[in-house]
Amino acid sequence: MPDVRSSLSGNRLLDSISPEEYERLSAHLKRVSLSLSEVLFRPDERISHAYFPTTCIVSLLTELQDGSGMEVGLVGREGVVGISAILGGEETKVATVQAQGEALRIEAGLLREEFQQGGLLQRALLRYTHALMTQISQSVVCNARHNVEGRLARWLLMYLDRSDTNEFELTHEFMANMLGVRRPGVSEIANRLQERGLIRYQRGRVTILSREGLEALVCECYPIVKEKFESFLL
């Protein structure tokens, strides 16, 4: 009964596993509400939980010593936050809730045990890990090569793909980290998209007015990464 299951879970990765696996896993899943700017984990912390977002969106950020940083990945209902729970090794990123909403939470150790059972869950998690690697890799390329408007369009479209609304809170600080610019420069960049009629940006709130317009402006990185996530985002 995949339909019933998907409406229960709301997370695409979990929806791709077998009913038996989901049944077993669901005993350990707890639905939690996550609020804007909540930090799920920081570098070098032992990961206590992994999160399967259903309606929230979580940003993965790599921080520098001076406290500045850059967003390298975005996780929504297509994926899982805290992949190092399965891979082992240290977490090196900061995971911050960027759009408030719900997620299914599981203890890291329990997820690892389920992963080790093999099956569809293991395959889905491995495939997702690789898609996440692609997303981060593309940020390496994008940050070296592409202009800031194209990059902003990319993040906004990534948001849109993971959300049911075309309106998000986007603080200056977060936008600065998304684009790797200083905070005072953020308004000007957002204005450039606003002047083209693509978005409205007011008091830290973005409304997307033209998806087509953003797609025309976005750098090539967006379709490349989207293709890798397609099986999860559909």
Partner 1 sequence: MSEVINKSILTRKDVRLGRPDRKSSFNARAAAIHQGQNGIKSTPFGGLMTNRLLARLPGEDFARLLPYMEPVTLQAGHYLYGLGNNIDHVYFPETAVISHVHLLEDGNTTEVALVGKEGMTGLSAVFNAPPANYWSQIIIGGGALRVEVEVLLEDFYRGQAMQRLVLNYASERIAQISQRAVCNGRHTLSERLATWLLMLHDRAGDGPLLLTHEEIARHLGARRASISVAATLLKDRRIISYNRGHIRILDRQTLLSTACECYETLARYSE
Q: 127, 172, 196, 200: which one contacts partner 1 (CB under 8 A)?
A: 127
Which of 112, 132, 131 has the alpha carbon at shortest distance from 122?
A: 112
Burial of 44 (0-12, 13-18, 19+ CB in 10 A): exposed
What is the identity of the amino acid at 165?
T
Our CB check for partner 1 shows the closer of 39 and 140 to be: 140
Q: 26, 37, 129, 210: which one contacts partner 1 (CB under 8 A)?
A: 129
* Least distance between partner 1 and beta carbon 132 (Å): 7
Is 184 a binding residue for partner 1 by CB under 8 A? The answer is no
Q: What is the largest CA-CA distance in the chain?
A: 53
CA triple 87-82-226, angle to 5 deg: 95
Q: 111, 163, 218, 232: which one contacts partner 1 (CB under 8 A)?
A: 218
Question: Site mask, partner 1, residues 62-101, x = CB under 8 A?
Answer: xxxx--xxx-xx---------xx-xxxxx-xx--------
Is 132 a binding residue for partner 1 by CB under 8 A? The answer is yes
Is 55 a binding residue for partner 1 by CB under 8 A? The answer is no
Asked whether 82 and 91 are in contact (CB, 8 A), the reply is yes
| Tokens, residue 162 | 């993971």
For residue 208, report the phi and psi dihedrals to the nearest 5 degrees.
-85, 125
Q: 23, 133, 197, 202: which one contacts partner 1 (CB under 8 A)?
A: 133
* Least distance between partner 1 and beta carbon 53 (Å): 18
Stretch that binds partner 1, among 14-22, 49-57, 133-141, 202-210 (CB under 8 A): 133-141
Asked whether 44 and 94 are in contact (CB, 8 A), the reply is no
Stretch that binds partner 1, among 9-17, 30-38, 98-106, 140-148 (CB under 8 A): 140-148
Which residues are near partner 1 by CB under 8 A?
60, 62-65, 68-70, 72-73, 83-84, 86-90, 92-93, 116, 118, 123, 126-127, 129-134, 136-141, 143-145, 179-180, 215-216, 218, 220, 222-224, 226-228
